[in-house]
């Protein structure tokens, strides 16, 4: 019998996990895996405060800002709308920056899922989106440009499609796009959906699904509006592997981010029926799916782990921990000095928000610092490195606030 996680009374299924078997929770389903124990001792030190009390957004899934000295916030509504607003707590309304809802297939795990501003946005006005379209069902990575006459409105006719790939099922779309410290555009692609990766797409390097991709949008190659960075791991291969691949073996990477101080790439990868994971993404790395679910064999007790990279942190699904990881950011928020350098992430279902202390590639401690109701769809970061938390159900944007 199919098993689907149904969230909210209107039957919204976001990080849907469907499998032909029953849930595979272990006896220790509420404990963390592998490393130090998660504690709740610090939950009293932090709370969540509404960042923009007068505003609500319909099913927000992303918040970001361009580095253009305007101190503006951009919020994505899953149905296909980008909102823009001044970064002021007393702001009364937002402006529609771009509405592409007419070309977006939205609902469940589909929709407008990612936004990234070009590092030189101040001069070229380019920004990049990741969305799902229908007939056929596919993911589209495209570039738009801001209007020449109004900085708070994009030109809807300026779209240039960079990359498209088919989606065999309606779930596991990934969706994040972001520029790395190297200036290249990174893209999160889920394994194509269903349950258990039936097409073994995450391990198939001839496909883009189940991967982290990296492309150079500044240097087109012939008729292709991007090129392959010289050090991409499969550039120039003779085996038919997709050269866009940066890392592989991902199930559904829901939110990755770069630590701007170190360049490290962090990702949350949503688990199947047992384990959620946080990964430090390395060039050419294989993160195991569907051989492994996090750091345990998937569907087998005798899997070959050679060459696979374990998560830096993972936790078993359960009523206290949650069932769908939401990747976050390494904290560089000056208002949260006690959390500086810790990786802040959470869980969509439980609303737990944790701070992971690490040393190199090893976890040291994971602290539960606060909780959010209404579905923790994403974390966000503005141009001043301030952190935000997005509530999918309530449509509100929050800040993590110290009680001290």
Q: Coil, helix or strand for 340?
A: coil
Taking the C-alpha atoms of residue 112 and residue 62, their distance in angstroms, rounded to an integer, is 9
393-to-59, 239, 375 alpha-carbon distances in Å: 6, 45, 6
Q: Could you give all domains of the chain from N- to C-terminal order, each with its CATH number?
A: 60-339 (2.120.10.30)
Taking the C-alpha atoms of residue 102 and residue 100, their distance in angstroms, rounded to an integer, is 5
Q: What pLDDT, on a 0 to 100 scale, did the predictor assign at position 404?
A: 64
Burial 221-231 (b: 16+ CB within 10 A, else e): eeeebbbbbee
pLDDT tens-place values along the chain, 404 residues long: 333 333 333 333 444 343 333 322 233 333 344 444 433 334 568 999 999 999 999 999 999 999 999 999 999 999 999 999 999 999 999 999 999 999 999 999 999 999 999 999 999 999 999 999 999 999 999 999 999 999 999 999 999 999 999 999 999 999 999 999 999 999 999 999 999 999 999 999 999 999 999 999 999 999 999 999 999 999 999 999 999 999 999 999 999 999 999 999 999 999 999 999 999 999 999 999 999 999 999 988 889 999 999 999 999 999 999 999 999 999 999 999 999 999 999 999 999 999 999 999 999 999 999 999 889 999 999 999 999 999 999 999 999 998 86
Q: What pLDDT, on a 0 to 100 scale, did the predictor assign at position 30?
A: 36
Pairing of the two strands 343-347 and 352-359: antiparallel
Burial of 208 (0-12, 13-18, 19+ CB in 10 A): buried
Q: What pLDDT, on a 0 to 100 scale, did the predictor assign at position 300?
A: 83
Q: What pLDDT, on a 0 to 100 scale, did the predictor assign at position 402?
A: 87
């Amino acid at each position: 019998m199919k098993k689907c996680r149904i969230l909210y009374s209107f039957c919204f299924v976001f990080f849907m996990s469907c499998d032909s078997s029953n849930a595979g929770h272990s006896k220790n389903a509420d404990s963390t895996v592998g490393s130090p124990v998660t504690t709740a001792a610090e939950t009293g030190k932090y709370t969540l405060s509404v960042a923009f009390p007068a505003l609500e957004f319909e099913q927000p899934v992303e918040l970001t800002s361009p580095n253009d000295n305007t101190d503006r916030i951009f919020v994505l509504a899953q149905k296909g709308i980008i909102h823009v607003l001044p970064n002021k707590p007393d702001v009364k309304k937002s402006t529609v920056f771009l509405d592409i809802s007419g070309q977006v297939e939205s609902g469940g795990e589909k929709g407008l899922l990612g936004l990234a501003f070009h590092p030189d946005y101040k001069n070229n006005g380019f920004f990049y989106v990741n969305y799902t379209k229908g007939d056929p069902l596919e993911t589209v990575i495209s570039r738009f440009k801001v209007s020449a006459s109004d900085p708070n409105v994009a030109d809807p006719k300026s779209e240039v499609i960079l990359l498209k790939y088919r989606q065999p099922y309606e779930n596991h779309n990934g969706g994040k796009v972001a520029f790395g410290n190297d200036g290249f555009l990174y893209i999160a692609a889920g394994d194509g959906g269903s349950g258990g990766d039936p097409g073994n797409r995450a391990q198939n390097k001839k496909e883009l699904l189940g991967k982290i991709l990296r492309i150079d949008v500044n240097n087109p190659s012939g008729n292709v509006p991007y090129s392959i960075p010289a050090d991409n791991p499969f550039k120039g291969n003779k085996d038919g592997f997709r050269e866009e691949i940066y890392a592989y073996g991902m199930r559904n990477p829901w939110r990755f981010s770069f630590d701007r101080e170190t360049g490290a790439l962090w990702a949350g990868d949503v688990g199947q029926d047992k384990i959620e994971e946080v990964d430090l993404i390395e060039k050419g790395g294989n993160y195991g799916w569907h051989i492994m679910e996090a750091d345990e064999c998937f569907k087998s007790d005798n899997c070959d782990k050679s060459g696979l990279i374990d998560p830096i942190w993972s936790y078993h699904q359960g009523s206290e921990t949650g069932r769908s990881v939401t990747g976050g950011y390494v904290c560089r928020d000056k208002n949260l000095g006690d959390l500086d350098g810790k990786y802040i992430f959470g869980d969509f279902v439980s609303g737990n928000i944790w701070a992971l202390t690490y040393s190199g590639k090893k976890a040291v401690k994971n602290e539960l610092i606060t909780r959010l109701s209404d579905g923790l769809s994403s974390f966000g970061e503005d141009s001043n490195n301030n952190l935000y938390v997005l509530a999918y159900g309530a449509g509100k944007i929050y800040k993590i606030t110290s009680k001290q």
